């Protein structure tokens, strides 16, 4: 199984600031995905970036992928208090094995 490792473990910022979270992984991948989890709830898929893509946008989210460094970053611009949550990365291979998640980054956005 492949595992994403998020960094930092916790991040606290003021509303309106940008938040950047990083993910590193160990093996080759087909895609990398980011998920969000509100406290005590299930994970919600945010964005998927394929291994042949370098950057992807979705609203205030920007994801980059550097396969040579086996790393990805998630940038949330103009953060809001409602962005407070844990964020997880997960890597996908050919689709025949389930996603494996890291410990996540806990983001706190202070109003």
* Residue in 88, 111, 108, 109 with CA at minimum distance from that of residue 100: 88
Q: Which of 21, 33, 71, 87 binds another protein (CB under 8 A)?
A: 33
The DSSP output letter for 104 is -
CB of 17 to another protein, least distance (A): 26
Q: Which of 26, 50, 57, 80 binds another protein (CB under 8 A)?
A: 50
Number of amino acids touching another protein (CB under 8 A): 27
Instruction: List the Cα angle 75/30/52 in 5-degree steps.
Output: 65
Asked if 90 interacts with another protein (CB under 8 A), we say: yes
């Amino acid at each position: 199984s492949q595992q994403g490792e998020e960094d930092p473990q916790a991040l606290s910022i003021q509303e309106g600031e940008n938040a950047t979270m990083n993910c590193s992984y160990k093996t080759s991948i087909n895609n990398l995905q980011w998920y969000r989890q509100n406290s005590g709830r299930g994970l919600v898929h945010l964005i998927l970036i394929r291994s042949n893509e370098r950057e992807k946008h979705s609203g205030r989210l920007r994801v980059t992928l550097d396969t040579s460094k086996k790393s990805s970053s998630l940038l949330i611009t103009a953060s809001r208090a409602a962005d407070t949550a844990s964020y997880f990365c997960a890597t996908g291979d050919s689709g025949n094995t389930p996603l494996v998640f890291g410990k996540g980054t806990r983001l706190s956005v202070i109003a």
